[in-house]
């Protein structure tokens, strides 16, 4: 299996922060902003877009939880791409147009979510990946994701 490419398994957005995101069939990515209509988007922000591997969600499902994509407030659910091997500064291409730059791996949760209280842990602090939009465009479920490995 080639972990340098993957598939955009799901796109998720929410109108406000702190709630699970809803899946959508397609979304517009806006340069230096994020995803149109998503509460986490913002000009200049370094966490404009969040990504989580469907394989990570699968680990949580094995602990007995019933989870849908977007439950961790991720914008993009990937399949097949080794997200945890990415480093800040590296880039991924989604479809033909969208270019994202990885800005952060993991995050500090300011408050514990419902998933944490149910399962005793949450994967976003260690397996969530964050990026900013360098080049925008339209994305849809099933688009290819390509990891542009750093040559540094």
Residue 119 above 60 pLDDT?
A: no
Nearest to 127 by CA among 70, 76, 57, 44: 57
- Confidence (pTM): 0.86
Residue 24 above 90 pLDDT?
A: yes
**Residues ≥6 apart with Cβ < 8 Å to 52:** 72, 74, 76, 77, 78, 83, 123, 124, 127, 128, 129
Residue 109 above 80 pLDDT?
A: no
DSSP H stretches of helix in the chain: 54-62, 114-119, 124-127
Q: How confident is the model at residue 116 (pLDDT cuts 50, 70, 90)?
A: low
Residue 65 above 80 pLDDT?
A: no
d(CA 146, CA 143): 10
Q: pLDDT per residue over 120-136, tens digit each? A: 556 666 788 999 999 99
d(CA 62, CA 74): 19
Q: Which residue has the tokens 């397996």?
A: 127
Q: Which residue has the tokens 């969040």?
A: 50
- Would you tell me how many other CB atoms lie within 10 Å of the CB of residue 30? 16
Q: Would you list the domain boundaries of the chain?
A: 5-148
Nearest to 97 by CA among 148, 138, 142: 138
Q: Exposed, middle or buried by CB within 10 Å (0-12, 13-18, 19+), for 146?
A: middle
Task: Name the token pair of 147.
Answer: 């990891």
5-148 CATH pick, 1.10.3720.10, 2.40.33.20, 3.40.50.2300, 2.40.128.50: 2.40.33.20
């Amino acid at each position: 299996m080639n972990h340098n490419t993957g598939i955009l398994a799901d796109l998720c957005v929410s109108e406000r922060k702190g709630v699970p995101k809803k899946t959508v069939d397609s979304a517009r990515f806006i340069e230096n902003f994020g995803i149109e209509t998503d509460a986490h988007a913002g000009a200049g922000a370094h966490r404009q877009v969040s990504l989580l591997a469907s394989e990570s969600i699968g680990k949580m499902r094995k602990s007995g939880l019933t989870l849908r994509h977007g439950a961790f407030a991720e914008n993009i659910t990937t399949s097949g791409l080794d997200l945890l091997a990415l480093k800040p500064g590296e880039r991924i291409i989604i479809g033909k147009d969208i270019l994202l730059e990885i800005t952060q791996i993991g995050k500090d949760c300011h408050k514990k979510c419902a998933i944490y209280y149910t399962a005793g842990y949450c994967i976003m602090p260690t397996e969530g990946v964050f990026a900013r939009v360098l080049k925008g465009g339209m994305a849809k479920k099933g688009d290819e994701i390509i990891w542009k490995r750093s040559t540094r």
